[in-house]
Amino acid sequence: MQAQYVPTPENIQARQQFDGFRFGIFLHWGIYSEFAQGEWYLNTGKLNKDEYAKAASCFYPILFDANQWIKAIKASGAKYITFTSRHHDSFSMYKTNESRYNIVDATPFKRDVLKELAAACQKEGIQFHLYYSILDWIREDYPIGRTGHDTGRTPRPNYDTYFQFMKNQVKELLTNYPNVAALWFDGYWDHNKDVPAFDWRLPEFYRYIHALKPECLIGNNHHTDPIEGEDFQMFERDLPGENKAGLSPQGISELPLEMCQTMNGMWGYKVADQDYKSVEELVTLIINAAAKGCNLLLNIGPQPNGELPALAINRLQGIGKWMNTYGETIYGTHRGIDDAPWGVTTKKGSTTFIHVLNKEYREIEYPLAKRPKLVKDFLSGNVLKYKYDKKKKTVIIPLDGIAGVPDRVVTMIE
């Protein structure tokens, strides 16, 4: 019987820091970007793996500039990135000795973009996280699950060798790129219908990772409750506790929380999908996530030429403008009220930031045990003349004259 996972003090500290970030950028970039049909094209297009691999032989993202990406991301107010080191298509976006199918050995570009991104993050003070798929659509030793049936491989399932391969790759990631602060696993659900249940040996995998780097945060997009050894919990396309997209039936744990969402509809670059959420919608999502004590990991699918899409840059700029002013009400805050008819709140010590998202409200009633010390308009700093109803134990806050898009923010000090 293995001893239960006890995070080290460094790991606990890393969790706390991560929990304060509240906003990060997800980057889905791989040779799939060249087809411009999203990151699942090998599977959805029922492509043969050797035909697909031709995308590697002409992958030359001439406009890629890690510093430019990270500068644009930093200006948005994001505190970290999560980059796809290897997606389901088996292609490693870094120099690995475990497979020749990687960006340095199999493309004319020959540059280790992971190294460049790691360095740019280091320079700009952005935390560096890596996505890693435990599901593989090409390797023969991967025990095929629900997806990746038509890639033309000869199945030779051997989870022992595949598991060893993953361990070796993860070791490379943690040792060759020292600023990797978190690993974000994906693909577990490929085997979630197996009878008997498939054993990914995750606690063993996590023990291996934590032995290499105890402070490395581990998260897994398995859509279930946290598994022994994980350091943060994630939700896909929904806020914790919501399950509109049908991918988040899990409960909410005490671990730091992260929700990931796309800017348009797809994770990897899809040329036909220009349907980007507005800055207002995205900022609202950041606010709602913060009110639930949750980080938003917002995705961008970089183009095959190495640039971030112009619409994505536009959204980064818009979010950055808002974060510049209102960041204090988001970063390092704790969960507050997340479902009032007028909006939500975030908290920091004795301060509550009241985010009035509903434009129709001229005043709000806020439940509070005793009269607050001070209530003011966050933007102007003007003190607001509130009323306190002792019987109902509510503060009545007038909103006239308070400006702000997408929300009006009131600071209340208890």
Binding interface with ligand FHN (CB under 6 A):
39-40, 186, 221, 236, 260, 267
The three-class DSSP label of residue 398 is: strand
**Phi, psi dihedral angles at 74 (to 5 degrees):** -60, -40
CB 247 to ligand FHN: min, Å: 6
CB 37 to ligand FHN: min, Å: 12
Closest to ligand FHN by CB, 71 vs 237, is 237
CB 49 to ligand FHN: min, Å: 17
CB 74 to ligand FHN: min, Å: 22
Closest to ligand FHN by CB, 286 vs 375, is 286
Give CA 302 to chain center in angstroms.
Answer: 15
Backbone angle region of 125, left / alpha / beta, with phi > 0 → left and psi within -120 to 50 → alpha = left
Half-sphere exposure of 33 (CA within 13 A, CB side): 27
Strands 294-300 and 23-27: parallel
Count of positions (residues) in the chain:
414
- The helix or strand, by DSSP H or E, that contains position 85, with its residue range, turns out to be strand 80-86
Give CA 61 to chain center in angstroms.
Answer: 24
User: What six digits make up the tokens of 348?
Assistant: 């920091």
Closest to ligand FHN by CB, 248 vs 284, is 248
Residue whose CB is nearest to ligand FHN in the complex, by number = 267
Closest to ligand FHN by CB, 40 vs 128, is 40
**Residue 148 carries which DSSP code?**
-
CB 258 to ligand FHN: min, Å: 10
Closest to ligand FHN by CB, 112 vs 186, is 186
Closest to ligand FHN by CB, 43 vs 158, is 43
**Residue 60 carries which DSSP code?**
-
Q: Do 97 and 147 meet the contact criterion of CB atoms below 8 Å apart?
A: no
Interatomic CA distance for residues 70 and 179, integer angstroms: 15
Among 17, 35, 39, 15, which residue's Cα sits nearest to residue 27?
39
Give CA angle at 308 (306, 314), nearest 5°.
160
Burial of 299 (0-12, 13-18, 19+ CB in 10 A): buried
Closest to ligand FHN by CB, 223 vs 376, is 223
CB 186 to ligand FHN: min, Å: 5
CB 80 to ligand FHN: min, Å: 16
Closest to ligand FHN by CB, 40 vs 232, is 40
CB 359 to ligand FHN: min, Å: 32
